[in-house]
């Protein structure tokens, strides 16, 4: 209730600022006069008393400001004045305003663009059912993605190779089985399976044997 | 006692004890309603000239108290037939005076105990 009353009174004072100012002005006049009368009563001459009373009050502007800012609408009024002045200054120097606006726009735009890219490429999980089980294939040891960090793309097998593997899954239907090396044609290869949600990566060793990929053991790589 | 201004350069401070202005205004207005200068004069006189309140702090305090509902104001004619803004204590202000007085007594009693320990 008190708060409501305070809000209403403050809003009224804002709207009727000239009247409030006038009344304050009148109150200050009355204050000085009453003070001067008191001094006159104690033996001062009127002119001298009036002067002394004014000196005692000090700056009228300061007193008015103190009264005005003792209430919330004074603070709000100050903010509005600041906004008005800023807008006026900006309008006065359109070149500066344009540059400032452009810098802000470019800055915000560039930030948004870069973040969108990083979000898409690095932060967001791939849109598949269980991204943690995805496996990357490649010939390099550091290929693939480990714990959300791209380790580089050298030695990754191309897409049609992956389709080939899909048609002929090879070792993934025989996980854990060890084939003997049949000499000569085998080539070392490693696949890194990584948990995209930060889990430890698993390194799986394969060899090519008789045109098929052969699993030859795996171990975890601590991230 | 009533030669305010002639002794402004006196050595001892004539400022109020911090935080007591509103209580003193409430007390002054509890005796009778008066205008701003009346309050200042009364505080100075009753304190025997120890305290002086300048309009720069008195009027903002009155404005705050009016907003808080502790006092209300109305324009009246003075004894010299001039218009002046008179301040009146409200029921809420009376309650605030009682509460602040009690708190003040508690505080000075505590301070006295500390100083005498």
DSSP string, B5-30: TTTTT-SS--PPPTT-HHHHHHHHHH
Residue A120 has pLDDT above 60, yes or no: yes
Q: What is the DSSP string of A54-114?
A: HHHH--HHHHHHHHHTTSHHHHHHHHHHHHHHHHHHHHH-HHHHHHHHHHHHHHHHHHHHH
pLDDT score recorded for residue A2? 74
pLDDT digit string (tens) for A24-51? 999 999 999 999 998 998 888 999 999 9
| pLDDT higher than threshold 80 for residue A66 | yes
Token reading at B91: 């029921």
- Going residue by residue through chain B (117 aa), what tens digit of pLDDT does each one get? 444 444 445 567 778 888 889 999 999 999 999 999 999 999 999 999 889 898 989 999 999 999 889 999 999 888 778 888 999 999 999 999 999 999 999 999 999 999 998
Chain A residues in contact with B54 (beta carbon < 8 A): 56-58
With a CB-CB cutoff of 8 Å, which residues 33-62 of chain A face chain B? 33-35, 37-39, 41-42, 52-53, 55-58, 62
Give A10's DSSP letter. Answer: H
Is B66 among the domain residues?
Answer: yes
CB contact under 8 A, A6 and B67: yes
Q: How far is A16 from chain B (nearest CA, A)?
A: 16
- Per-residue confidence at A15, pLDDT binned at 50, 70, 90? confident
| Domain harbouring B97, CATH code | 1.10.10.10
Contact (Cβ atoms closer than 8 angstroms) between residue A177 and residue A215? yes
Tens-place pLDDT, residues A212-221: 556 655 554 4
Residue B13 lies in a domain: no
- Under an 8 A CB cutoff, do B63 and A70 touch? yes
Distance of residue A7 Cα from the nearest chain B Cα, in angstroms: 9
Residue of chain A whose Cα is closest to the Cα of B52: A56
Which residues of chain A does B60 touch, with a Cβ-Cβ cutoff of 8 Å? 66-67, 69-70
How near does any CA of chain B get to the CA of A86, in Å?
28
Q: Within an 8 Å CB–CB cutoff, is residue A31 touching chain B?
A: yes
- Classify residue B16: in a domain, yes or no: no
- For residue B63, the model assigns a pLDDT of 92
* A 89-128 near B (Cβ less than 8 A): none
The alpha carbon of residue A4 is apart from the nearest alpha carbon of chain B, in Å, by 11
B87 near B31, Cβ under 8 Å?
Answer: no
- ipTM of model over 0.90: no
Residue B68 within a domain: yes
A-B contacts at Cβ under 8 angstroms: 83
CA-based nearest distance A82→chain B, Å: 22
Provide the number of structural domains found in chain B.
Answer: 1
Alpha helices in chain B (DSSP H): 21-31, 36-46, 55-68, 91-116
Residue span of the structural domain in which B102 resides: 21-116
pLDDT at A198 over 90: no
What pLDDT is stored for residue A179 in this prediction?
43
pLDDT at A17: 87
- The answer to whether the beta carbons of residues A205 and A190 sit under 8 Å apart is yes
SS3 call for B31 = helix
Q: Contact, B89 vs B26, CB < 8 A?
A: yes
Q: For B84, which of A2, A10, A30 is closest by C-beta distance?
A: A30
Average pLDDT of span A98-105: 96
Distance from CA of A8 to the nearest CA of B (A): 10
Asked if A33 and B85 come within 8 Å (Cβ–Cβ), the reply is no
**Nearest beta carbon to residue A31 from set B55, B57, B60:** B55
Question: Per the CB < 8 Å rule, is A31 touching B37?
Answer: yes
Between the two ends of chain B, the Cα-to-Cα distance in Å is: 36
In this predicted model, what pLDDT tens digit does every residue of A165-182 receive, in sequence order?
A: 666 766 554 443 444 433
Q: Is residue B56 part of a domain?
A: yes
| A195 band by pLDDT with thresholds 50, 70 and 90 | very low
CA atoms lying within 13 Å on the CB side of residue A42: 16
Question: A2 at the B interface (CB within 8 A)?
Answer: yes
pLDDT at A221: 47
In angstroms, the CA A114 to CA A137 distance is: 28
pLDDT at position B40: 93
């Amino acid at each position: 209730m008190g708060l409501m009353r305070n809000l209403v009174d403050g809003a009224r004072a804002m709207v009727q600022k000239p009247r409030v100012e006038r009344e304050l002005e009148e109150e200050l006049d009355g204050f000085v006069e009453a003070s001067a009368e008191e001094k006159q009563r104690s033996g001062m001459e009127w002119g001298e008393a009036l002067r002394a009373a004014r000196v005692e009050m000090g700056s009228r502007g300061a007193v008015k400001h103190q009264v005005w800012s003792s209430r919330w609408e004074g603070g709000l009024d100050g903010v509005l004045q600041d906004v008005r002045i800023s807008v006026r200054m900006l309008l006065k120097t359109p070149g500066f305003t344009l540059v400032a606006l452009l810098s802000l726009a470019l800055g915000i735009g560039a930030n948004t663009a870069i973040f969108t890219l990083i979000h898409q490429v690095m932060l967001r999980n791939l849109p598949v059912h269980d991204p943690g089980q995805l496996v990357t294939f490649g010939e390099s040891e550091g290929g693939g993605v480990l714990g959300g960090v791209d380790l580089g793309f050298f030695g990754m097998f191309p897409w049609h190779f992956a389709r080939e593997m899909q048609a002929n899954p090879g070792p993934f239907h025989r996980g854990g089985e060890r084939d003997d090396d049949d000499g000569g044609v085998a080539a070392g290869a490693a696949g890194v399976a990584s948990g995209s949600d930060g889990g430890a990566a698993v390194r799986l060793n394969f060899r090519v044997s008789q045109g098929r990929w052969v699993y030859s053991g795996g171990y975890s790589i601590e991230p | 006692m009533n030669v305010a201004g002639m002794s402004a350069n006196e050595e001892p401070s004539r400022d109020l004890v911090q935080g007591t202005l509103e209580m003193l205004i409430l007390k002054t207005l509890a005796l009778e309603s008066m205008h701003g200068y009346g309050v200042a004069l009364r505080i100075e006189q009753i304190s025997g000239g120890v305290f002086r309140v300048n309009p720069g702090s008195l009027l903002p305090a009155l404005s705050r108290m009016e907003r808080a509902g502790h006092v209300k104001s109305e324009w009246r004619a003075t004894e010299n037939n001039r218009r002046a803004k008179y301040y009146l204590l409200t029921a809420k202000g009376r309650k605030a005076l009682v509460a602040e007085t009690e708190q003040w007594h508690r505080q000075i009693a505590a301070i006295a105990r500390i100083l005498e320990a």
